[in-house]
Amino acid sequence: MASDNTPSDREVDDPDKSDSASTRRGLLRAAAGATVAGAASTAGCLGVTTPADVAARNQVSGNVAHFVGPSWLADNREDVVVLDARNVERFRKERIYGARRVPFDAITSRRSTDAGLVPDAEAIADAFAEVGVSPDDDVLVYGASVGSRVTRTAFALAALGHEGDIKALNGGLSGWNGRLGTGSRDRVQEAEYEPDPAESAWVTREWLADRVGTFNGDGPGLVDVRVPEAYVGAPASDALNPDNDRHGHLPGAIGVHWVGNVAGRRMTEPGRLVQLYENQAELDRAGTVVVYGDDNVDPTSTWLTLRAIGFEDVRVYDGGFGEWANVEDDRGRYPVETKTSVVVETEGSVGGDDGGGDFSCTG
């Protein structure tokens, strides 16, 4: 595989600070049992932030799947493949040491079938193979936060039928106080990745069309993850995609904006997520839930969030509202609704590499 000869991964700390790096890793491990609330009442509020504070803020506690904190990564760094979901400029500037970057265009690629657009398993598998990911590797994905680029990468692996564990780093890169790398990535040995597509991870346009009239009633739960203005097709709203011929939502879908899954760089507190999706949205954790947005990236945030809090069967409509709204033939089979709207209000914000913290001593 081609690679340039510019400086590869290197440790940001000076060589004579190896003891300090070891101490940092020890502090990360020691903070594994700490809670976010505990961190908010200790050193951070005195103007001193330690590696243990950082780890504790981003620690994931309770019965939560897939999301892990930096202390988990400190303990398991040698056993997982670390994937960076950010763009190439940020990747080269600074990243977790040894991380690999998968081209985002590749893992969002789709192919056309008679039933509609579906993930292009061959193209996605080739992208992971190129950076040395094998089907049985345990993988951790991180980004600037736990936003939808991270969750789309996780979904792409799941769609391939990935056999290893798939985890996302709570807090993103800013939560990591371990070894860092810069420059172009190290050469890695290309792997073989024969996909075994997990078709239960997604649904098609035709699958949905066959069930119109049953969503959130006798049939599957259906969640529109776009902003409310797009969901109701608000006239003249900037939220409307000008490339879509029709606006609104699939009949019976409820609107729950995906940003409610994220609090800055971290996942929203799990208890609030259960309240949001089980109590307010009234989704059945034991039933099938389908999520969709305008494309096939943002819905994966809700896909991973629901799986993390115990929903058993969550699927992505990979074609997205754009495919549904712009279908050319027999539009009566693919109706769009603007009335009878159910919007569940969410609160959330997605952090990034802005240099500012999302931690407050006042909570």
The tens digit of pLDDT for each residue in 312-330 reads: 999 999 999 999 999 998 9
Strands 262-264 vs 349-350: parallel, antiparallel or unpaired: parallel
* 123-149 tens-digit pLDDT: 999 999 999 999 999 999 999 999 999
Report which residue type is found at 230: A
Sorted by where each begins, the domain ranges of the chain are 57-181, 199-349
Q: What is the arithmetic mean of pLDDT over 99-120?
A: 96
- pLDDT value at residue 265: 92
- Give CA–CA dist 231/240, Å, rounded: 9
Q: Which two tokens stand for residue 295?
A: 């494309």
Q: Can you tell me the distance from the alpha carbon of 145 to that of 267, in angstroms, rounded to the nearest whole number?
A: 9
In this prediction, residue 263 has a pLDDT band, given cuts at 50, 70 and 90, of: very high
- What digits encode the pLDDT tens for the residues 228-249? 999 999 999 999 999 999 999 9
Alpha-carbon torsion angle 305, 125, 172, 351, nearest 10:
-70
pLDDT of 114 over the 90 cut: yes
Q: How many other C-beta atoms are found inside a 10 Å radius of the C-beta of residue 99?
A: 24
- Per CATH, which fold does 199-349 belong to? Oxidized Rhodanese; domain 1 (3.40.250)
From 301, 116, 138, select the one nearest 210 (Cα to Cα): 116
Asked if the 57-181 domain carries CATH number 3.40.50.1980, the reply is: no
What's residue 358's pLDDT? 32
Sheet containing 266-267: which strands, arranged edge to edge?
Answer: 266-267, 262-264, 349-350
Angle at 24 between CA 174 and CA 74, to 5 degrees: 70
Same fold, 57-181 and 199-349: yes
The stretch 207-216 carries a mean pLDDT of: 96
Inter-residue contact 315 to 291 (CB < 8 Å) = yes
- Read off the pLDDT of each residue in 151-174 and give the average, rounded to a whole number: 97
Report which of residues 37 and 212 the model is more confident about: 212
* Element of type H or E holding 106: helix 104-107
Total number of residues shown for the chain: 363
Query: Which tops the pLDDT comparison, 350 or 257?
Result: 257
Rounded to an integer, the average pLDDT of 285-299 is 97
Q: What is the pTM of this model?
A: 0.82
The bridge status of strand 313-317 relative to strand 202-203 is: parallel
Write down the pLDDT at residue 43: 37
Q: How confident is the model at residue 299 (pLDDT cuts 50, 70, 90)?
A: very high
